[in-house]
Structure 1
Amino acid sequence: MREANAMEYMSTRGKSESMESADAILQGIAVDGGLLVPVEIPKVDSEFIDELKDMTYQERAVKILGLFLTDYTEDELKKCVSNAYGNGKFDTEEVAPVKEVGDRTVLELWHGPTSAFKDMALQLLPQLMQTALQKTGEKKTIQILVATSGDTGKAALAGFADVPQTKIQVFYPENGVSAMQKLQMVTQKGDNVQVIAVKGNFDDAQTGVKKIFKNDVFVKQLETKGTKLSSANSINWGRLVPQIVYYFSAYADMCKSGTIKSGDTINFTVPTGNFGNILAGFYARQMGLPIGHLVCASNQNNVLTDFLQTGYYDRNRPFAKTISPSMDILISSNLERLLYHLTGDTMRVNGWMEMLAADGLYDVGVGMLQRVQNYFWADWSDDEKTKETIREVYDKTHYVLDPHTAVAWAAADAYRRKTDDMRPMLIVSTASPYKFNDSVLEALGEAAEGKNPFELLDALEAKNEVKAPKGLTMLKDAKVLHETCCEKDGMENVVFDFAKG
């Protein structure tokens, strides 16, 4: 029985029944292929935001998550949050610290166990999912399917390894992740984990996972055998909602330090490929956080930049392998959620998604574009610009950017230069530079060719004031446990075999 004030979730395509958050998190994706979204976005006032200033990150998380996950008790949320962000899993008590770098402000989201921002959500999602299993009485094994462009895979594996009543499979593009990212995944321990290289790019892996979810016959066949599919990609609401927290937390920290005053409007620049990270900022803005513009930073796979500037989404373009591989994406799934929230029209959203699936493109029109641009601004960098930014920031501040954060830094520069908007800008830093040693060292003028990942790690540590994360240095002696590779059309067979095993 639902409580009167319970938050409900519905599909962006309007053909599925609404549900509460525990069911939405377990299901991952709507049965009609759409994404699950809150029917209403909760609102907060300045008093709510001011109260966050003197709270820990964990306390802030419980307060914000409680607005969305209304069928979880406060005690349940406290336990989930404590297990996710406590117990020494993050290398700083602040969890997501705000740092001053020269004349810029940076939100560091890479202090978790896998040194990437995905830990902010993927340390919490398994806790939310395990609690949901208990709350709903679900007896089936939940088999998590993940497509990764680099960071999501390891973070999901680390979060779900040996979690009872779950299995997890991660699919990554065979030659589309950094050497360190690959090592993190293929050395993952756990009786319930499997890592598979896909012969193709990230979009091939992501499309393969979506096709499996949409294959009703296959899904029902698995359920008769006691297995229920779910996702740990940001298509799962349980992956996205934890990311809203760090926008509020960063704002509270900036108020507490005196960088801004309560009520001041700030901008965020976010490197993003699948549009989930920046969409969390949109939710925070809609809730009442004083955000002006969200600057979307892309690499050479600049499909989002083009869309945000023209209203025309076209994935029919060459796929570029870049030094910022986590953004090597041409199908940005979470854009569907934004389109729903700005139109409230599931039929229009469904039509656009059908055009994307059939022809690889759609056009939202001038009126809709203007609405999008009320919230978003966009720019992109190629690899040379990214390296140049890494080098310039290091020369000026001795701070080492990873390639994704460098893309954001350059976009923040472009935004100020082209708009004259001088409101405080917070740059979202999504990964440790040690995950991309070769590219970073080359940007800093050091030879990387011929060196193994750990020689490169040592070389970068010699130049960096921040020590290499233990989770990466320990990989040197880790055993490779996963060597499976499949064709992009063979993913369904791999999933079925893992379910049987």
Structure 2
Amino acid sequence: MTTFHSTRGTDDALTSKQAIRKGIADDGGLFVTDQLGESKVDIATLQGKTYQQIAQDVLGLLLPDFTAQELGECIAEAYGAQWDDERITPLKPLGDDYVMELFHGPTCAFKDVALQILPRFMARTTPADGDADERIMIVTATSGDTGKAALAGFADAPGTGITVFYPEGRVSKVQELQMTTQSGDNVHVCAVRGNFDDAQSTVKEIFADTELNACIAQEDHVVLSSANSINVGRLVPQVVYYFSAYAQLLERQAINVGDEVDFVVPTGNFGDVLAGYYAKMLGLPVRQLVVASDRNNVLFDFLTTGTYNRKRPFYETTSPSMDILVSSNLERMLYYMSEKDPRLVTYLMNDLSQWGAYEVPPQLLMRIRELFATGWADEAQVSRMIADCWKDHGYVLDPHTACGYFVMTQMPAEPGTPRVLLSTASPYKFPRTVNEALGLESDGTDFECMDGLSEATGTTVPPMLRELDEAPVRFRDCVEVSDMGHYVEQCAGNI
């Protein structure tokens, strides 16, 4: 039987439904299963399958206590008419390489892949103590894209509420409007005076605050859970699109069954690339996972030196969703790469908490570097990549994907091994940055920038982004980091 426990201890024995409902372990660790990889996806059967069929295969292995019918219902509800491409995550040629577009969902970012299905998972979990009145409050910090995708997924979902915190002034204007104009009676959105790491760390502290949680549970019959990729139910749906990419390469006859593939992944919190590691554990022939960072290159430094140090300057870049110094999901990778050693993980996380840094043993770093490669791009390089990709391929990149494109162009290609760049967001979420890179007018509003970009490139503005210009702003709250717990308490009373 597949059970889940904390990365920092093996005392828990939760089902996947229980782990999803709980979100984060009591000791602050993330839920993992020691059975990961014991069963494999049959890659010989991938070709010709729809995204939904691949999802059924992959999620059936990762979340085995959901019945096939339950998963089928979740998948059908999550990957339907709200996507503007029936392939969900279409693969497109980019010169000799490929780009997989993960932004065809309702909020134009890759987070939709997981956050359209997570509320469906949640709806099929049950309270641990049998409290029929118990409701779930999703509490999430966002660096830009998770917030809107979570709001869109959970808005008016029965038995749930959602509170999203974002760093004031540190997301794009389009990202902010996507959140602050969100409809739904069960949603709350609040800016925080601080950066994303401040907000994310405080959300983790809120989950660990037993007194606050007991008070909310007693007074409001509400339990807290997460929609960040610290929640295993947010992470595992992302594994599916790696298999979908492989299926599409097979259909294009770019590979034969069993051939290896490289994936280049722009990431800040390590969740998107960790899903690729899970895919490899499930039998996908992944040769290399390339971690692409922006100027906040804490992951680059870790993967090259073995030292993770969050005590460093924090830069606000043109790729705000990657402006992160504490990459939560790295903890899961460390657990598996250390041959499932919770004591080592606890030791490292304590060092990070106490000293702001940790160093992994040399043999562990060697093991990590056998699979994970890395690179990073500064803002000038990102801008140049947006321009070069348009000039060379007629393809418009958003600034996050441009980080990955830069890293990919700097790396020698392995003969016979296709490279797939994960494109994480629509360029129309960052129209001013893209226009500046392409030499287009960028002095007007973001919406004028969208129109100019569309006219110049012949691409279409996603209507859900263009319509934000007329949408009424519902949320203007802004709190200090120290007041986030009190804000959650207030919101829990309003579910």
Check whether the contact 2:307–2:358 (CA below 8 A) recurs between aligned residues. Answer: yes
SS in 1 for 2:124: helix
Q: Residue 478 of structure 1 aligns with which residue?
A: 471
Aligned counterparts of 1:437 and 1:497: Cα–Cα separation in 2: 36
Q: Residue 304 of structure 2 aligns with which residue?
A: 309
Q: Does 1:333 align with 2:328?
A: yes
- The share of aligned pairs that are identical, in percent, is 47
Q: Residue 482 of structure 2 aligns with which residue?
A: 489
Give 1:43-82 correspondences, 5 Å limit.
Answer: 43=38, 48-82=42-76
Q: CA deviation at 1:16?
A: 4.2
Check whether the contact 2:351–2:358 (CA below 8 A) recurs between aligned residues. Answer: yes
Q: Residue 2 of structure 2 aligns with which residue?
A: 7
2:143 is matched with which residue: 135, 141, 149? 149
1:252 is matched with which residue: 242, 247, 258? 247
Q: CA deviation at 1:463?
A: 2.1
| Deviations 1:464-490 (CA, angstroms, capped at 9, x unpaired) | 333111110111211000000000111
Give 1:298-447 correspondences, 5 Å limit.
Answer: 298-343=293-338, 344-416=340-412, 423-447=417-441
Q: CA deviation at 1:447?
A: 3.1
Q: Give ranges in structure 2 of 5+ residues lacking alignment.
A: none
Q: Does 1:184 align with 2:184?
A: no
Q: CA deviation at 1:287?
A: 1.4
SS in 2 for 1:416: coil
| Deviations 1:396-450 (CA, angstroms, capped at 9, x unpaired) | 1111000011100111122227xx666211000000000000000000012312x
Q: Residue 269 of structure 1 aligns with which residue?
A: 264
Aligned counterparts of 2:11 and 2:204: Cα–Cα separation in 1: 16
Q: Residue 237 of structure 2 aligns with which residue?
A: 242
Check whether the contact 2:136–2:223 (CA below 8 A) recurs between aligned residues. Answer: yes
Structure 2 CA distance for partners of 1:365 and 1:134, relative to 1, 3 Å: closer
Check whether the contact 1:13–1:32 (CA below 8 A) recurs between aligned residues. Answer: yes
Q: Give ranges in structure 1 of 5+ residues lacking alignment.
A: 1-5
| Deviations 1:171-193 (CA, angstroms, capped at 9, x unpaired) | 00001100100010000000000
- 2:32 partner amino acid: V
1:233 is matched with which residue: 211, 228, 233? 228
Check whether the contact 2:114–2:237 (CA below 8 A) recurs between aligned residues. Answer: yes
Q: Does 1:99 align with 2:92?
A: yes
Aligned counterparts of 2:131 and 2:22: Cα–Cα separation in 1: 11
Structure 2 CA distance for partners of 1:218 and 1:192, relative to 1, 3 Å: same
Structure 2 CA distance for partners of 1:137 and 1:332, relative to 1, 3 Å: same
Structure 2 CA distance for partners of 1:242 and 1:135, relative to 1, 3 Å: farther
- 1:58 partner amino acid: Q
Give 1:208-227 correspondences, 5 Å limit.
Answer: 208-225=202-219, 226-227=221-222
Aligned counterparts of 1:483 and 1:201: Cα–Cα separation in 2: 17
Q: Residue 460 of structure 1 aligns with which residue?
A: 453
Q: Does 1:205 align with 2:199?
A: yes
TM-score (normalised: structure 2): 0.97
Check whether the contact 2:268–2:322 (CA below 8 A) recurs between aligned residues. Answer: yes
- 1:409 partner amino acid: Y
Aligned counterparts of 2:183 and 2:258: Cα–Cα separation in 1: 46
| Deviations 1:283-330 (CA, angstroms, capped at 9, x unpaired) | 111111000010000000000000001100000111000000000000
Aligned counterparts of 1:44 and 1:478: Cα–Cα separation in 2: 47
Q: Does 1:128 align with 2:121?
A: yes
2:26 is matched with which residue: 26, 31, 40? 31
SS in 2 for 1:374: helix
Q: CA deviation at 1:365?
A: 2.4
SS in 2 for 1:434: helix
Aligned counterparts of 1:463 and 1:210: Cα–Cα separation in 2: 44
- 1:375 partner amino acid: L
Q: CA deviation at 1:137?
A: 5.1
Structure 2 CA distance for partners of 1:45 and 1:75, relative to 1, 3 Å: closer
Check whether the contact 1:274–1:327 (CA below 8 A) recurs between aligned residues. Answer: yes
Check whether the contact 1:23–1:136 (CA below 8 A) recurs between aligned residues. Answer: no
Structure 2 CA distance for partners of 1:480 and 1:154, relative to 1, 3 Å: same
Q: Residue 116 of structure 1 aligns with which residue?
A: 109
Aligned counterparts of 1:424 and 1:435: Cα–Cα separation in 2: 28
- Number of residue pairs matched by the alignment: 491
Check whether the contact 2:20–2:122 (CA below 8 A) recurs between aligned residues. Answer: yes
- 1:273 partner amino acid: G
Q: CA deviation at 1:133?
A: 3.2
SS in 2 for 1:428: strand
| Deviations 1:3-40 (CA, angstroms, capped at 9, x unpaired) | xxx31111000064110000000000001110001121
Structure 2 CA distance for partners of 1:427 and 1:215, relative to 1, 3 Å: same
- 2:281 partner amino acid: Q
Check whether the contact 1:91–1:112 (CA below 8 A) recurs between aligned residues. Answer: yes
